[in-house]
Amino acid sequence: MTLSDSDYSETNQNFEGAAASLKGILESDTVTEFCVDWLDMQCHLLGGVRDAVVVVGDSDTKKFAPAAVFPRGEAVSQELAHVAERALNERQSIVVPGGRTPGSPVHVAQPISVAQQLQGVVAFGLKHRSKEQARVDLERLDRSSAWLEGLLARHESGNGNGSSALAEAAAAAAGRSGQSKGLTVTLDLVATLLQHERLLAASTALVTDLATRFQCDRVSLGFLKRKNVRLNAMSHSGHFNRKSNIARAIEEAMDEAVDQESTIKFPQPEDVQSSEFRITRSHAELARKFGSGSICSVPMGMEGEVVGALTFERPDNSGFDARTVSLMETIANAAGPILELKRRDERLIITKVFKSISGLIHKLFGAGHPYLKLFGILFLATVIFFCFARGEFRVAADTVLEGSVQRAAVAPFNGFISEARLRAGDTIREGEVLCLLDDREVKLERHKWSSQLEQLRKQHQQALAEHQDADVRIIGTQINQANAQIALIDDQLGRMRIKAPFDAVIVRGDLSQSIGAPVERGGVLFELAPLDNYRIILEVDERDIAEVSLGQEGNLILSAHPTEKFPFTVSKITPVSTPQEGLNFFRVEARLKREAGKDGRLRPGMEGVGKITVEDRHLIWIWTRRAVDWVRLTLWKWMP
């Protein structure tokens, strides 16, 4: 089973909480505080506790009351109260399996007796437990309840409720039960593991501490990789040769314990029963080759699975007694999850991804997890549906509305603005005046040439009367020149009035604040666009341009009219790309259909989104084409 990062964090927090609760036990001032801290410690060590209660009282008066409740401040549930009452009545440990509803908790209860007198009961509601796992937790609870028994025995003897009395009670309980002492040792080792961030440092510190505590010549730790154990750390040694003979022999001994999923002692006790017989060939080989008198290999587990093993070696033949082996197993059960979490955290990312995927597959096709299986079936059905379902494939592009013809009204000659009432956004009709230029100088110039023309005509008549042919021709030429100048000036006077060439909307230009300002010949005064003839400019991504062709139809939605669609037809594809915001776009022109082009609400410059309809294609292709194309290009780029 593969755990998520939240599961790893929760396990670490459980061990840290247990260590804090142990400190609170030793500093407790009252029986109630002692029970509360003890219950917190048990809940952190067991993990997955939904609710719990410690009930104490007097068996003679049969008055019992809760002394501690988990979670703190909440009422005891009816199910838990019923289990605790049943354990009090029957005066024996009980395990009540969960109901048929998925996720129902398993309830366990353990009576507390002092001098064969019933003094209370502890009960737990455990999540994610099988009945067999609950029995294992009950055995641990039986060993740990010695703390409470020692406390109640000291309290009954009348030693007071001070902190010293509670400490003595804890010490008395520890003297009555070696497992309680082992709990302290286990928490010390857990604290040692949590001080180190790296796996190798934590493993080396653990095996070195174990070698000192258990008076071993060598303690080794290994993790299960695929189907074999690989040695990770040896006591009193920061580095070792993994290919050495002793490393291989220790790994084979660990394999024996892992394969049999049980603790192996060598030499085996003579009084061992047939049901407890274990194969010890690799242990015997390790002892023969390297002079180990006594060997004990203990598997390390996590979430019901073996993840590694600890091997203890002593030089003499004294062996390991049952209490020591039990303490070793407790330490292995506590240290295994922490070390496994550190090992998984240091794996390569690709390995983590692979393990997560394999864990998900195991949940999908293994036992349990009905909701995950239902979600997987729905997801698979959705994928299959979209693999065969077809939909309309459209190319989307940012769009700008422009006039099909955009004409500029320019100044015909140098002059000054005399009158300008219209500005950008105004609509005008054909022949309507846009602005007027000051014509006073031009009129004076025309008056000058008119006077000169009259004078030349008189001179021309006098020359004719005097039969001066040469003067007649010269003066006639000057008269023609004057007439031409007057005609030119009349034309200029006519162009003083800048008129609209067609029905249009003024796209650009505002001279209302520039009366009297000079203008130069050829300067743009206004830009005009027709009212009922537009073209659409679409900026098509280069990744989609291959799908676009002339004559395709589509729809445009403008920001100004988001609830209406305007149909259009592609009319031109410009074969030149324009870089913009790190991408390349092609300019594609389209024309609005006749009925849409006559909509009076349209104005040049409006922006929106246009979608060009290509054809019907599979929905899965439409939604994944960009990702697939990116993968193809990336592979092509890196392929030799």
**Ranges 349-353, 360-364, 512-516: which has the least confidence:** 512-516
- Three-state SS at 215: coil
pLDDT band at 176 (very low <50, low <70, confident <90, very high): very low
Q: What is the pLDDT of residue 465?
A: 82
Q: How far apart are CA 174 and CA 74, in angstroms?
A: 31
Q: What is the chain's mean pLDDT, rounded?
A: 80
What are the structure tokens assigned to 590, written together? 């389209």
- Three-state SS at 241: coil
CB–CB of 86/122 below 8 Å? no
Q: What is the pLDDT of residue 295?
A: 92
> Who has greater pLDDT, 276 or 454?
454
Q: How far apart are CA 101 and CA 350, in angstroms?
A: 37
Mean pLDDT value across residues 240-262: 90
Q: What is the pLDDT of residue 150?
A: 66
pLDDT band at 162 (very low <50, low <70, confident <90, very high): very low
Q: What is the pLDDT of residue 600?
A: 66
Q: How far apart are CA 71 and CA 241, in angstroms?
A: 49
Please report the domains of the chain, with CATH numbers, ordered by start residue: 5-190 (3.30.450.40), 196-346 (3.30.450.40), 357-388 (no CATH), 533-638 (2.40.30.170)
Q: How many helices (H) and strands (E) does the chain have?
A: 17, 24
Q: What is the pLDDT of residue 363?
A: 82
Highest-scoring range by mean pLDDT, 92-101, 251-260, 353-362, 594-603: 251-260
Highest-scoring range by mean pLDDT, 115-119, 430-434, 599-603: 430-434
**Ranges 162-176, 184-198, 269-283, 284-298: which has the least confidence:** 162-176
49-58: strand order across its sheet:
63-70, 49-58, 117-126, 106-114, 94-96
Q: What is the pLDDT of residue 106?
A: 83
> Who has greater pLDDT, 509 or 209?
209
* Element spanning 352, H or E: helix 349-365
The reported pTM is 0.45
Q: What is the pLDDT of residue 12?
A: 55
pLDDT band at 220 (very low <50, low <70, confident <90, very high): very high
Mean pLDDT value across residues 364-371: 83
**Ranges 35-49, 159-173, 244-258, 279-293: which has the least confidence:** 159-173
**How large a percentage of the chain has pLDDT more than 90?**
14
For the cut 80, the answer to whether the pLDDT of residue 31 exceeds it is: no
Q: What is the pLDDT of residue 113?
A: 79
For the cut 90, the answer to whether the pLDDT of residue 611 exceeds it is: yes
Condensed to tens digits (0 to 9), the pLDDT of residues 482-502 reads 888 888 877 777 777 777 777
> Who has greater pLDDT, 29 or 487?
487
Mean pLDDT value across residues 220-234: 91
Q: What is the DSSP string of 513-580?
A: T-TT-EE-TT-EEEEEEESS-EEEEEEEETTTGGG--TT-EEEEEETTEEEEEEEEEEEEEEEEEEEE
Q: What is the pLDDT of residue 169?
A: 43
Q: What is the pLDDT of residue 103?
A: 65
**Ranges 11-15, 151-155, 365-369, 378-382: which has the least confidence:** 11-15
Q: What is the pLDDT of residue 403?
A: 75
Mean pLDDT value across residues 190-201: 85
For the cut 50, the answer to whether the pLDDT of residue 161 exceeds it is: no
